[in-house]
Structure 1
């Protein structure tokens, strides 16, 4: 896009700046629109599995329900508790929502269609996702209320616990692909399964890692059955108890933004990203970004399916799964994957 603006007579610096801003808007605006629509999809999936109708009044088939809800919270008054730290109280939801958008900068939508094609893209994802803890902790502490603070501590412990196992799972993917660049990781999945399946998920050594990454991503985004930070059956709704209006909506949007981000990572790291699922020439006639969106949509359906059918864990079960099962198993598979690659001369 930079050469296009240079062709209009702009100097390189201005052309690069304008093209970068256009690229950011080209990703951020569809993602924010998608967040509104996946809330509708989420509710429809739950309704279908519970034999209910779900949203069906506002707009055709209820498609505008999310926008009506957004307008409602936008018009409500933002109430800040008198004893709260007002600056941090408002920064918390902004951090949560912003972090959910920043990670999309390194997701490849097609070969070469990526905002920031950096060699350490996966490390960037880990760094950005870890910043989400700050928004939750700041929100719980700045509310100056004990229940939101307890919930924020519980949420941060949960996120940090599963980030450890996610890190070891990603090491297995990096070892096999030989790169931290997400575009190179997608290319490494070309024909990986039996010569005609694109994706690491069909690899016997990486399939368990995909299952663990899928479950860990649900815990990382605090989705059911790991939504203990805002369990509706408990006394309070979690770290965002004191929030109202758009400040509360930003937490809600940030959660769904993080869910979409994890679905995109699942698709990129294990399902072949923008590659078609099978090595059939006619499938390559469909643009890569459409394949990526379809895989993200399937991943989101799995998230909704689990939320509608799996009961909530107790907190001790949640921590035991993370520290006593996922952590040692992911460490074992780092050993197995690296050993197999060394034995087969993959690192030669």
Structure 2
């Protein structure tokens, strides 16, 4: 009984921490972009540093009418936002915050995380197909093409870390991590992070959902809370990507803080990477469709394969 209560408490704590992080990332995006681009509006809502901007956005989405197009497949259309959001929340349970501080420590945690993350993209495909809108359908098709291109380097770079650590357990990877990994696993880390941004449709890889390209792609017909769920799924995806990058390549809770505060060190690294995601959105122009595919197949895939080969050589050499 005590063990079951302990597991439940860990689940509640981890989920509570990670459920608030997407909202914090959304708030940070308003503030960081406001500072970088000299925007005044987001800095004034509610007074001190625009603290009420996130609340105002939530109220705006909540009061909008929930519209379902007449020609849409109603069941699939309404289900798509949940399919986009829930997988990222499920993944958060398997990501360790600190020593022993993980919702569920799985022996094949990395395999589980990568498999479930792939499900989240289906939400955009479902929304694009079910909307009975040509722009939505085209956005869904572009989403599928982008997923096929970037899923391979994403998985290959993660496999390199698993090979180096000799385990698929996320906690085991952190425990096996060494500071010198920052050097020889750096190409894989860049590939993993860039491919993750592409899978989340974050700029400069937002071509399938960019308003200046294709209205809003698969999200064109969505309003109110259903559209807000798609946005929340994006921010939850950012948290998952940054947390996974921290665990796989930056040592997770390993750092100057004692193990008891390892969770804080993990959160600091995750939030710093989230700021980097926002910085990339502000500073890097959007890629064309051909540039996007060329980057994946001609750059990221070869680099990921080279990193995998290097890891194999190092593992065989060092035993």
- The TM tier, using the shorter chain, reads over 0.9
The TM-score with structure 1 as length reference comes to: 0.87
Counterpart CA distance in 1 for 2:8 and 2:220 is: 35
Residue 12 (structure 1) aligns with: none
After superposition, where does 1:155-194 map in structure 2 within 5 Å?
155-190=143-178, 192-193=179-180
Q: What is the aligned-residue RMSD (CA, Å)?
A: 1.7
1:58·1:68 contact (CA, 8 Å) conserved in 2? no
2:276 pairs, out of 302, 306, 318, with 302
Q: 1:105 to 1:32 in 2, by over 3 A?
A: closer
With the length of structure 2 as denominator, give the TM-score of the two structures.
Answer: 0.95
Q: CA deviation at 1:284?
A: 1.6
Structure 1 residues not aligned, in runs of 5+ = 5-15, 194-199
The structure, 1 or 2, with the larger RCO (C-alpha pairs under 8 Å, 6+ apart) is: 2
Distance across 2 between alignment mates of 1:24 and 1:157: 35
Instruction: Name which of 20, 23, 29 aligns with 1:36.
Output: 23
How far apart are residue 22 of structure 1 and its match? 4.2
Alpha carbons 1:225, 1:311 under 8 Å: kept: yes
Q: Which runs of 5+ in 2 are unaligned?
A: none
1:96 aligns to what SS in structure 2?
helix
Q: How much does 1:305 deviate?
A: 0.8
Q: Which has the higher helix share?
A: 2
Mapped to 2, the partners of 1:159 and 1:43 lie a distance apart of 27
Distance verdict in 2 for CA 1:30–1:270, change over 3 Å: same
Partner of residue 131, structure 1: 119
Q: Does the Cα contact within 8 Å between 2:208 and 2:217 map onto a contact in 1?
A: yes
User: Retained in 1: the 8 A contact 2:205–2:286?
Assistant: yes
Residues 32-70 of structure 1 deviation map (CA, whole Å, 9 limit, x = unaligned): 322222212112111211123333222532122112211
In the TM superposition, residue 286 of structure 1 has moved relative to its aligned partner by: 6.3
- Give yes or no for contact 1:36–1:67 (8 Å, CA) kept in 2: no
The correspondence for 2:73, drawn from 79, 85, 110, is: 85
Deviation at 1:133, TM superposition (A): 2.1
CA distance in 1, matches of 2:214, 2:172: 47
- The number of residue pairs the alignment matches comes to 318
Runs of 4+ in 1 over 2 A off after TM superposition: 18-34, 51-56
Contact 1:152 1:238 in 2 (8 A): yes
Q: Is the 8 A contact 1:230 1:238 kept in 2?
A: yes
Matched, 1:219 2:198: yes
